[in-house]
Amino acid sequence: MDERHKKILQRNRTNLVRDLDPSDLYDFLLEKGVFTQDMIEEIKGSGTRRDQARQLVRDLETRGSRAFPLFLQCLQETGQHRLAELLQTGGPTAAHLQPAPPTEAARPVLQPLPVSSPMDADKQRNDYGPICPIQKPNNTPTPERGDIKLPPRTRHDSIQNYKMDASPCGHCLIINNVEFEHESDLKNRIGSNIDCDKLERRFKALNFIVEVKQNLKQRQIKLALSALSKKDHSLYDCCVVIMLSHGTEVSHSRFPGAVYGVDGQCVPVQQVTNYLNGQHCPSLQSKPKLFFIQACGGDERDMGFEVSPDEVEPSIRGADDQTDAIPTSSSSDSLSMSDEMDARASLPTPSDILVSYSTFPGYVSWRDTHSGSWYVETLDRILEKNAETDDLVTMLMMVNNEVSQNSAKGLYKQMPGSFNFLRKLLYFQTQSSPKQISG
């Protein structure tokens, strides 16, 4: 769609969402080839009349150059003359717009309009994108109708995507605890710097502002999270926190586990998520907040169970594999939440939060001293290969599958997992921004 037409739609979006009756338009838009049947079904499944109108307008902006005049014609044919007139007089260039000539009575074979470039489509669709899994459009001409291969339908016709087109996309804080104080009785985490470097590069490539903090004590971890929560995230679409440390199992009401500062004092994962929830960080309300935890959830070692050889491709890791396990904490002092006003024990419904753990709660997490942790190594590779086409939750299932097939010392297993409170699908940006920004 021409940029001037997009601006007219954007300028009148409020009136369109308030007054447009999408149900009257669907057959006409389909008949004229503005939308495909799958796109119509997706719009219908988006919710209320206002929700359908909002998505229809957003989707319209991604269609070809004739979409706008055809839309005006559909408005006139369905009696929505006020909206048609509003769009025709909606800007200096709009007064000269004329609807496309009416279709012939014979109604020839119809072809869908060509889509805009991938960058325009992603920018304009915002959080009302296509259902997953998708192949992003390319710049090749639209094929004849008989050759069109639409994406496979799924059961989730009404699921929408988070808006992820801000540049930069958001902040990413990495806390990498490697060297622990002697008094903590915790071993240094050799190989964690490899994990840190991989994730720093990966999230910069995903257009995040990355800040790395090394070897933080418990109090410093809280201060870093508090500082992140006090930033203005209103111009961004997402926030990421990555914790690389020793861990343990603690009591909890929502998110299990805790991560250690280099002083041997831990911060419960539930506290970590509290800093960025809707109550404590208003500028992140309704936006995805992602937490990746490379740490043990306890000190149990998973020895796995026997399955058919056809079900797995076992990978035996080296003798240098180490765990990030610490025995379950019983110290109430280390779990006190009364010293930080923005780290309360109770929190609102944790919507738009996903916590990805390197291991199942209660079990150890394995780390190779030469190549880094199993979890981070796999996560980095999956993001590199699949972020172009797959949503985050799908990619995390791929990580789960691959890591589950590893074996430490030919004996021990590991099973990552997630606590997912996201409300929509999340697709990362995969095209490099003009300038990558680091903190």
Query: Of 238, 246, 266, 280, which residue is the catalytic one?
Result: 246
Rounded to an integer, what distance in angstroms lies between the CA atom of residue 389 and that of residue 170? 20
Q: What is the mean pLDDT of residues 284-312?
A: 63
Please say whether the structural domain 170-420 has been given the CATH code 3.40.50.620: no
Amino acid at 401: N
pLDDT tens-place string over residues 172-194 = 999 999 999 999 989 898 889 99
Q: Percent of the chain, pLDDT > 70?
A: 64
The dotted CATH code for 3-94+115-125 is 1.10.533.10
* Annotated domain spans of the chain: 3-94+115-125, 170-420
- pLDDT for position 412: 67
Q: pLDDT class for 252, splitting at 50, 70, 90?
A: low
Q: What is the pLDDT of residue 431?
A: 67
Tokens of 217: 């004590």
136-153 pLDDT, tens digit per residue, is: 344 444 444 344 444 433
Q: Which of 144, 117, 152 is nearest to 3 (CA)?
A: 117
Question: pLDDT category, 376, cuts 50, 70, 90?
Answer: very high
Catalytic entry in 74, 266, 281, 296: 296
Cβ atoms < 10 Å from Cβ of 419: 18
* pLDDT tens digits along 72-129: 999 989 999 899 888 988 644 333 444 445 444 444 454 554 444 433 434 343 443 3
pLDDT of amino acid 363: 62
- Does the annotation count 169 as an active-site position? no
- Name the residue with tokens 């940006």: 429
The verdict on whether 246 is a catalytic residue reads: yes
